Amino acid sequence: MAIPTSRPIRPRPLLGALRPRRGPASPALVPDTLTAPAVPRSAVVAAAVYDDEGYRTASFTRLADTFRALRSQPGGMAWIGLERPDEDELATLAREFDLHPLAIEDAIQAHQRPKIERYGETLFVVLHAARYLDSIEEVEFSELHVFVGPDFVVTVRHGDSPDLSSVRARLETEPAMLARGPEAVLYAIMDRVVDDYAPVVSGLDYDVDQIESEVFGGDPAVSRRIYELSREVVDFQRAVRPLQSVCQSLAKGAEKYGVSEEPQAYLRDVADHLTEVGESVESFRAALRDMLTVNATLVAQRQNEEMTHLTEVSLRQGEEVKKISGWAAILFAPTLVGTVYGMNFDHMPELHWAWGYPAALVAMLTVSVALFAVFRGKKWI
C-alpha cells in the first residue's frame, strides 16, 4: 500500500512523549561503550540518521558511530536495524536509549506473542511476520521487535522476513513521512508486515482448494494434510489476531496525544487490511473444520461399504459351506453302512441273509433321500 504524502511537517514526539529530542551531550556523559572494541560479529543490518525534514544525513555500520551522529544533530532521528543481536549489543542500545530491562529480555529471548507495551516514553512492539513457501507449500513465521522512542527506531529481527530494506527505501522517497518522526516508521513497518500477509492468504486459499478436491477424490492421506494445514492456519491466526489489538491501542494513543490526521488515516488503512486478513483466516478455519467432518463421514461411508461387501462375501461363503456340508452328510450315511459291512467279520448280523445286500442298499438310499429332504427343506441344498 502506498504511503500518503503531504507537505513537510516538523517531527513531533511519539504519541505524546514529553521529552524533547536529544541534543549534544557533554563528553562526561558519553558512555564507555563508545570506545569499546567492536564485537567480532555485528548484528547491524542498517543504521542511519535523518534530519528533521526526513532526509538521510549519514549511514553507519557501527552503533557507536550512529549514537555520536544522533547527538550531534538536534531534532534528528536514528533508525537502526538489527538481525539476531547478542546481549552485548542490546545492552549497548539499552544504555544509550534508556530501554527497559523487561523489553530487552523479551528481545533477547524472542518467542513473544504480538503485543504493544509502553515503558516510559518508549514503545515496545512485537510483530509476527509470515511468508508462504511455494516449494514446500508451508507458511514460515518470524518475529520482529520494534523499539520506538522520541528520536529513534530500533528493529530487532529474528528471521528472514520482513524485508525492512524496502520499507526504508520507500520511506526515504517520501521525506515528508519521515519528518513526522518515529511513529511514521512504525506504521510503515506494520504496513509491510500486513502486506506480506496477502501472499500467505493466497497460498493458504490454494491449499484449501486442493484439499477439498482430495477429500472427494478419496485420497487416504488427506486427513493428515487437513490437520497440518489447520495447524498452520491456527499459527497464522495467532499472528494476526493480537496485531488487531496493537492497532487499536495505537489508534487510542493517537487520539489521546493528538497525533495528526494523516498518520491516523495511515494506521486505519493498516487496520482495514488486517481485518480482511483476519476474516480470510477465520473462513479457512471454518472450511477446514467442515472438510474434516466431511472427510470423516466419507471415510465412515467407505468403511461401511467395505463391511457390507465383506458381509455379503461371508454370507455367500456360508451358503457354499452349507451346500458342501449337506452333500457331505448325505454321502456319509451310505459310506458308513458300507464301511461297517465291509469289515469281513464272520459273525455279523444278517451277513448270510439272502436279502442282506439289497437291504443294505435300500438302507443307504433311504438315509440319503431322508437327509436330502431335510437339507432341502432348510435350503442348504
What does the pLDDT look like over 321-376, one tens digit per residue?
877 777 777 777 777 777 776 666 566 666 666 677 777 778 778 878 887 788 77
Any idea what the CATH number is for the domain that residue 51 is in? 3.30.460.20
Name the CA radius of gyration of the chain, rounded: 42
Which residue, of 137, 171, 205, is where some domain finishes?
171
Q: Is-contact 193 186, C-beta < 8 A?
A: no
Which residue, of 141, 171, 201, is where some domain finishes?
171
Whether the model clears a pTM of 0.75, i.e. scores above it, the answer is: no
Confidence (pLDDT) at 154: 93
Per the structure block, which three cell numbers stand in for 321? 459351506
Q: Is 107 a domain residue?
A: yes
In the predicted model, residues of the chain with pLDDT beneath 70 are 1-41, 218-220, 254-263, 341-354
Q: Based on the structure, what is the number of domains in the chain? A: 2
Torsion angle of C-alpha atoms 241, 242, 244, 246, degrees rounded to 10: -170
The Cα–Cα gap between 177 and 43 comes to 27
Q: Is 264 a domain residue?
A: no
Which residue, of 171, 190, 210, is where some domain finishes?
171
Confidence (pLDDT) at 341: 66
Q: Is 244 a domain residue?
A: no
Q: Is 9 a domain residue?
A: no
Confidence (pLDDT) at 3: 39
For residue 162, is the peptide bond before it cis, meaning its omega torsion is within 30 degrees of 0?
Answer: yes
Give one word for 288, left, alpha or beta, with left for phi > 0 and alpha for psi -120 to 50. Answer: alpha
Confidence (pLDDT) at 257: 54
Q: Is-contact 137 162, C-beta < 8 A?
A: no
The Cα–Cα gap between 110 and 173 comes to 32
Confidence (pLDDT) at 360: 74
Q: Is 122 a domain residue?
A: yes
Q: Is 238 a domain residue?
A: no
Tens of pLDDT, residue by residue over 266-306, are 788 888 888 888 888 888 888 888 888 877 777 777 777 77
Q: Is 97 a domain residue?
A: yes
What range defines the domain where residue 332 resides?
319-377
Q: Is 369 a domain residue?
A: yes
**Helix 182-195 to helix 197-217 angle, to the nearest 10 degrees?**
20
Per the structure block, which three cell numbers stand in for 172? 526515504
Q: 49 vs 46, 98, 104, 308, 366, CA distance in Å?
A: 10, 18, 22, 77, 117
